[in-house]
Amino acid sequence: MTLFRLDASIRVEGSTSREIADIVEAEWLSVHPGDAVERRHIGVDVLPSDAWPRAVSAAYVPEADRTPEQKSAVALAAVLVDELLAADAVLLAVPLYNFGVSQHFKTWVDLVVTDPRAAAGGPGLLAGKKLVLCTVRGGAYGAGTPREGWDHSTSYLRRILGDVWGADLTVVEREFTLVGVNPALDAFTDEAASLHLGALASAREAGKALAVA
């Protein structure tokens, strides 16, 4: 069995999305000890920002006439798709940045979509494959909060991963990760602690479910 894990946080130490994903991974490994975990940390080992337009333009050029840069971009997109297709399960850790999708994750998605195997109209790149998405938000964005509707990431992630790619999607979420960092949020310390514990428990359950093929 193989688990593919992708991290989009720009941090390694202290990353709250990584903390949750680590728990999911540990639960998966407890069922599949010694099995492979393939990793890609796009928040640190950043994908080239010019790869996507080059991969797109390459689709309109005969293969023999493509520039070296176009060929490289197409090859990179193929590798990204290979990683997904080769995995028996997928784990993604993607934080909310500035109310939207991480630019690194969006670049990854855009590149994946250029590969013919991810073309629209098919059954979905990850049709039926179990995928756990771990996503975190510094504040609170739920119904009734001052910033309700400001999270422009999570709905996009659900749409791409579940609706477009067809993954069997489980989402583990944590809010108020900036409590204890931003003094303006000190009044929410108890609520943040409760949300943290809930997210860790959800991560354990999601990891157990992910491990069952």
- Can you give the residue range of the structural domain that contains 12? 2-210
pLDDT reported for residue 90: 98
| Amino acid identity at 128 | G
pLDDT of residue 123: 83
Q: What pLDDT is attached to residue 43?
A: 96
Structure pTM? 0.95
Q: What is the dihedral of CA 55, 100, 89, 41, to 10 degrees?
A: 70
Report the pLDDT value the prediction gives residue 27, as an integer from 0 to 100. Answer: 98
Q: What is the pLDDT of residue 120?
A: 78
What pLDDT does residue 98 have?
96
Q: CATH number, domain at 6?
A: 3.40.50.360
Long-range contacts of 106-110 (CB under 8 A, 24+ apart): 107/42, 107/47, 107/49, 107/51, 107/52, 108/6, 108/8, 108/42, 108/47, 108/80, 109/160, 110/52
Query: How far, in Å, CA of 151 to CA of 39, rounded?
Result: 27
Number of structural domains found in the chain = 1
Q: Are 141 and 151 in contact (CB under 8 A)?
A: yes
Q: What is the pLDDT along the chain (213 residues), one digit of tens a residue?
A: 999 999 999 999 989 999 999 999 999 999 999 999 999 999 999 999 999 999 999 999 999 999 999 999 999 999 999 999 999 999 999 999 999 999 999 999 999 999 999 987 778 999 999 999 999 999 999 999 999 999 999 999 999 999 999 999 999 999 999 999 999 999 999 999 999 999 999 999 999 999 996
